[in-house]
Amino acid sequence: MTDINWDELSLEDLKTIQKKATKAISTFQARKRKEALAAVEAKAAEMGFALGELTGASKTKGSKAPPKYCHPDNPAMTWTGRGRQPNWVKDAVANGKSMDDLLIVK
C-alpha cells in the first residue's frame, strides 16, 4: 500500500476516497455475509437439514389478515382494518356511519 499525504488532498479528493472506501467496505461485508450463509447452509444440508428448519424461519413472508370491514353496498370491497383507510370507509364515516356498521361480523 502506498503512503498518501493526506494533508495535500483537497476536500473533493477526500470525499471521493471516503465514498469509494464506504462502497468497498459494504461490498466486502456483503460478500463475506454470502460466504458465511453458504457455509452454514452447506453444513446444515450435510447434516440433513434445511437452514430454515434449524432457525425456525418460515418460507412465507407473512399472512394476510382477514377482512374486518366491508362496503355497505358492495360486499366485495373489504378492508382488514390495518393501514390507511380506504376512501369508501372515510366516505361512510363522513356520511354518519360508524365503524361498527361496516363490520363484517357483528
Q: Identify the pLDDT of residue 60.
A: 62
pTM for this model (two decimals): 0.47
pLDDT, one tens digit per residue, over 12-58 is: 999 999 999 999 999 999 999 999 999 999 998 888 888 888 887 76
Displacement of CA 25 from its chain's centroid (Å): 23
What are the residue boundaries of the structural domains of the chain, listed by start? Answer: 9-55, 69-102
pLDDT at 61: 64
Q: Where are the beta strands (DSSP E) in 2-82?
A: 69-70, 78-79
